[in-house]
Amino acid sequence: MSNRREQQTPEGAFKEKIGQITSFPYDRLTVERFRAAFPQARWSEDLKAWFVPGKTAGRRIARWQAHEATQVEAYADEKGRDAFQFDPIESPYLEVGEAGLRVRTPFSRTVVDELREVPWAQWDSDLRVWHVPFRSFDDLRRRWATIEAAARRNEPEERKRRAEERKGTEDDRRARLRSVERKRRRYPLACNDLPPLHRPVATEQYGVIVFTEITGELVEPDTVADFYPGATEDHVWGLWRTPTLDELISTWPAKPVPENRRREWWLPSIVELRPVRRLARSRERRRRK
């Protein structure tokens, strides 16, 4: 949309006049509403746009567009509500409200990732629930099987049952050892390729972290082969911590590094920084409460 000073002549050309040019996707009903709101508007075949005369044309068009947007959303919500009533999703994880749907599940990274892909879905940290407007019902339905399966897997009883089944198994032993190793907050680094300290970097095992110290202690590859299969006698231990929100926000994203060119560490890309920033914001909100 841009300012124009033009007037249509019988020959179809335009001469200068104060007004505003605007355009929108063609729809017969939308055009009828537009012409009712702007009876002096004229169509330009050359510009493929409408010209609305007047000094306040820009503001009037902006108000009309805002009203149209709310009408479109209201229509989409009504259509989604009808679709839900005709063929509802029946699940203990889904509630129906006046303004839309509410999704309440045990925490699951899969559920979070799926709902973030649903347009207009919003997380309510106070109620611990996802709000999904009716206009997003079709998108929610397409993802619901994955969401519900992940929610059931993360029910406390189900997680407890799986933990009982794993007790004493080789997988259980390895999981416990991995947990102990992670708590040591150390990472093997090649002596000739050390990362910068106190700056967020990406790693294969622990994601985006901040190295605080290079100890100089040599790694014994045989004792940590299960955790760090690429470690050699030329590696030393680096100590790390979780980055703060301020550190993550101030980190300038790097270009993505292909997997076949990754080392023990690399500078994180925007794709790697985004989820870590979200987690850091969540931690910050919990800390302030």
User: What pLDDT, in 10s, does the model give residues 196-218?
Assistant: 999 999 998 899 999 999 998 99
Q: Which of 96, 106, 110 lies closest to 152, judged by CA? A: 106
Comparing 15 with 193, which gets the higher pLDDT? 193
Residue 123 has a pLDDT of: 87
Backbone dihedral region for residue 185 (phi beyond 0: left; psi -120 to 50: alpha; all else: beta): left
Compute the distance between CA of residue 171 and CA of residue 165 in angstroms, rounded to an integer.
Answer: 10
Comparing 105 with 23, which gets the higher pLDDT? 105
State the pLDDT confidence band at 169, using cuts at 50, 70 and 90: confident
Per the listing, tokens 């611990």 go with 128
Structure tokens at 182: 């992670």
Residues with Cβ within 8 Å of residue 172, at least 6 apart in sequence: 166
Q: Which of 130, 90, 95 lies closest to 111, judged by CA? A: 130
Q: What are residue 231's phi and psi, to 5 degrees?
A: -70, 140
Q: CA torsion angle for 176, 178, 182, 184 (degrees, to 10)?
A: 70
State the pLDDT confidence band at 14, using cuts at 50, 70 and 90: very low
CA dist 266 → 256, 270, 280 (Å): 9, 13, 20
Mean pLDDT value of segment 43-70: 85
Residue 236, classified by CB atoms within 10 Å of its CB into exposed (0-12), middle (13-18) or buried (19+), is middle
CA dist 17 → 6, 28, 263 (Å): 4, 27, 63
Mean pLDDT value of segment 172-178: 84
Residue 176 has a pLDDT of: 87
Asked if 264 and 193 touch (Cβ cutoff 8 Å), the reply is yes
- Strand ranges inside the chain, DSSP E: 2-8, 14-22, 42-44, 49-53, 94-96, 100-103, 122-124, 129-133, 186-190, 200-203, 207-218, 235-241, 265-266
Does the pLDDT at position 147 exceed 50?
Answer: yes
Asked if 240 and 212 touch (Cβ cutoff 8 Å), the reply is yes
Give pLDDT tens digits for 105-132.
999 999 999 998 998 888 887 788 999 9
Q: Which of 118, 116, 117 lies closest to 100, judged by CA? A: 118
Does the pLDDT at position 272 exceed 50?
Answer: yes
Q: Which of 80-89, 194-203, 276-285 ranks highest by mean pLDDT? A: 194-203
Residue 215 has a pLDDT of: 93
Percent residues over pLDDT 90 in the chain: 40
Does the pLDDT at position 242 exceed 80?
Answer: yes
* Average confidence score pLDDT of the chain: 86
Asked if 52 and 1 touch (Cβ cutoff 8 Å), the reply is no
Does the pLDDT at position 16 exceed 70?
Answer: no
Sign (positive/negative) of CA torsion 159, 162, 164, 167? negative
Q: Which of 185, 191, 196 lies closest to 233, judged by CA? A: 191
Compute the distance between CA of residue 122 and CA of residue 99 in angstroms, rounded to an integer.
Answer: 13
Strands 100-103 and 49-53: unpaired
State the pLDDT confidence band at 243, using cuts at 50, 70 and 90: very high
Percent residues over pLDDT 70 in the chain: 91
Compute the distance between CA of residue 179 and CA of residue 224 in angstroms, rounded to an integer.
Answer: 13
Q: Which of 1-10, 84-93, 94-103, 118-127 has the lowest average pLDDT? A: 1-10
Does the pLDDT at position 265 exceed 60?
Answer: yes
Mean pLDDT value of segment 258-273: 86
Structure tokens at 154: 């993360």
Residue 2 has a pLDDT of: 47
Residue 283 has a pLDDT of: 86
Residue 79 has a pLDDT of: 82
Per the listing, tokens 């292909």 go with 258
